[in-house]
Amino acid sequence: MTTTLFYQTFLHNTIKEKLETLEKIELTIDTIESISNGFTLMTYLPSGYSISFMNHLIEYDLTSIVEIEPNSTLYYYGPLKLFALSNNNSYQPVLKRQVEPQQSDHWIGIHPQRFYNYRHWINRDGTCGMMSATVLLAYYQDYLDEALLPNTLRSKGGSGTALYQSLLKTTPSLLPTGTVAYDVSYGINRLLRRVENKESLFRTRSKATITPTFGIVKTRCDFVVPVPTIVGIVTLLNSPKNYRNHWVVAYSYLEDNNDKYYRIHDNHGQYQAVINVKWTLSTVKLHRRLR
């Protein structure tokens, strides 16, 4: 085995081991494809794919099959943006075919187990916007971009205390009425600009809306790699007394006849609570792009 081949095999096995650690399953590599701008596409049996750069896992989904024409030249431009150069010299998105529902009970999005480690992250003093932002950033660091936050602020899989305390300082508050979506988004962006790791492959920023939430949350849960969204629960929309006006992190949805529901981390001690979409207004979400 040549030195180059040995090194490539080592890198591919490193990505495979990372995925097995995240998903608690054993993977079998099917194919390994080089992408023109230095990334690597790996497919697995019976389904699944991952995209990596050196030994950094960038994107994955174990419930989809990528469909690529033979001898295609591949290009990668960030999460969910894998393209192939066609015979007529145009770039076409690489299709991904879902082989089974992400969750068998009709909930679409992220499995609740991923939020289990955040179950004790509880807001006790009306700073629910900052705590929701802590959960959102921690999720991205744990599952999407380990380099998002410096280890001095939070390490992957670690406590959220220092991150939460920093967000308390960067997020403006309209107390006693609390924070609005733009306050929470501003606080996240202010923090990310201060701690930004220039070696990260991505630039991450927050964006706020004050619109109905379902279109945004559904779209992000329907991504090949679904992502969570902060949503606002509003008293005027008949939210229950235990929430009133409150910020939470929504990570999956369910459509049941005429009703729609979110599964949420509510920063009151429940990491898989269920709320009615009718109670919600305003979102705060993260966007990433390659540097």
pLDDT band at residue 174, thresholds of 50, 70 and 90? low
* Same domain membership, residue 201 and residue 263: yes
* Same domain membership, residue 38 and residue 125: no
Q: How many angstroms separate the first and last alpha carbons of the chain?
A: 35
Q: Report if residue 269 sits inside a domain.
A: yes
Q: Report if residue 205 sits inside a domain.
A: yes
* Same domain membership, residue 140 and residue 244: yes
Write out pLDDT tens, residues 88-110: 778 888 888 776 444 445 899 99
Q: Report if residue 214 sits inside a domain.
A: yes
Burial (CB < 10 A; 0-12, 13-18, 19+), residue 4, is exposed
Domain interval for residue 52: 3-98
* Same domain membership, residue 146 and residue 276: yes
Q: Report if residue 235 sits inside a domain.
A: yes
Q: Report if residue 103 sits inside a domain.
A: no
Q: Report if residue 53 sits inside a domain.
A: yes
| Residue 23 clears pLDDT 90, i.e. is over it | no
* Same domain membership, residue 79 and residue 187: no
Q: What is the pTM of this model?
A: 0.69
Q: Give residue 6's pLDDT.
A: 46
Write out pLDDT tens, residues 113-164: 899 999 999 998 889 999 999 999 999 999 988 899 999 999 999 999 999 9
- Domain of 139, CATH number, reads 3.90.70
| Residue 244 clears pLDDT 50, i.e. is over it | yes
* Same domain membership, residue 125 and residue 47: no
Q: Give residue 2's pLDDT.
A: 44
Q: Is 192 helix (H, G, I), strand (E, B) or coil?
A: helix
d(CA 12, CA 34): 11
Three-class secondary structure assignment of 40-102: EEEEEECCCEEEEECCEEEEEECCEEEECCCCCEEEECCCCCEEEECCCCCEEECEEEECCCC
* Same domain membership, residue 258 and residue 117: yes
* Same domain membership, residue 153 and residue 60: no
* Same domain membership, residue 243 and residue 150: yes
Q: Give residue 47's pLDDT.
A: 82
Provide the H-helix boundaries in the chain: 3-23, 128-143, 161-170, 181-195, 214-221
* Same domain membership, residue 116 and residue 246: yes
Q: Give residue 14's pLDDT.
A: 87
Tokens for 225, please give them. 């790699």
Average pLDDT of the residues of the chain: 87
pLDDT band at residue 254, thresholds of 50, 70 and 90? very high
Q: Report if residue 145 sits inside a domain.
A: yes
| Residue 7 clears pLDDT 50, i.e. is over it | no
* Same domain membership, residue 129 and residue 10: no
Q: Report if residue 115 sits inside a domain.
A: yes
* Same domain membership, residue 139 and residue 177: yes
Torsion sign (Cα): 126, 112, 229, 261 = negative
Residue where a domain terminates, one of 98, 127, 153: 98
Exposure of 155 in the CB half-sphere (CA atoms within 13 A) = 3
Q: How many domains does the chain have?
A: 2
Write out pLDDT tens, residues 26-74: 788 888 989 988 899 999 887 889 999 888 888 888 878 888 887 789 9
Percent with pLDDT over 90 in the chain: 54
Residue where a domain terminates, one of 98, 130, 165: 98
